[in-house]
Copies of this chain bind each other. A is one copy, B any other.
Amino acid sequence: MELYSERGFAQTTVAEIAARAGLTERTFFRHFADKREVLFAGARSLQELLVSSVASAPDSVAPIDAIAGALAAAGAVLQERGEYAKQRQAIIAANTELQERELIKLASLASALAEALRERGVKEPAASLTAEAGIAVFKIAFERWAAETDKQDLPRLIRDSLEELRAVTAGH
């Protein structure tokens, strides 16, 4: 991560990353499929957090509020990572290939959330629409937080973005 920030993602080799981390290249490849994966290693735990949060919401909670609660919980975790999460976002924003990988991971998150909603008995297309809307809110709130156009905390920004989505879809 430090190396990517210092000299750019494309200019950093696996050998350099491994050396900085005190690993051999072989050990590096036991943990990561390629140098991009270093940046996406947290995606699985984020997905597990989101899915378990949706699953554990009380039955009385509306689907969109179950998603909102899950995203706020994920936002709190990312906020704790603070500068790391912001640096990571800056590295991704500077590289098309990484942006593409990020889009794919976000699409996987949306699919996992839709599945979690269907398990709560939500029908299609409501489940997919709610999940996709949630991920759109999350993506936009996170980008604003990472770019520091808003100094607010991330869970707050996620909730505000959802309110804004409600307002714009209602036609205001």
Q: Which residues of A contact B (CB under 8 A)?
A: 62-65, 100, 103-104, 107, 125-126, 128-130, 132-133, 136-137, 139-141, 144, 161-162, 164-172
Contact = CB atoms under 8 A, between A and B. Distances in A.
B166 A170 contact: yes
Contacts of A141: 125
B161 A129 contact: yes
Given A64-B170, A125-B144, 5 more contacts: A62-B172, A125-B161, A128-B140, A166-B169, A166-B170
A164 B107 contact: no
A9 B160 CA distance: 43
A82 to B, nearest CB: 22
Top 3 nearest A-B pairs (CB, nearest first) are A132-B136, A62-B171, A130-B168
Contacts of A125: 140-141, 144, 161, 164
Contact of A171 (B65, B128, B129): B65
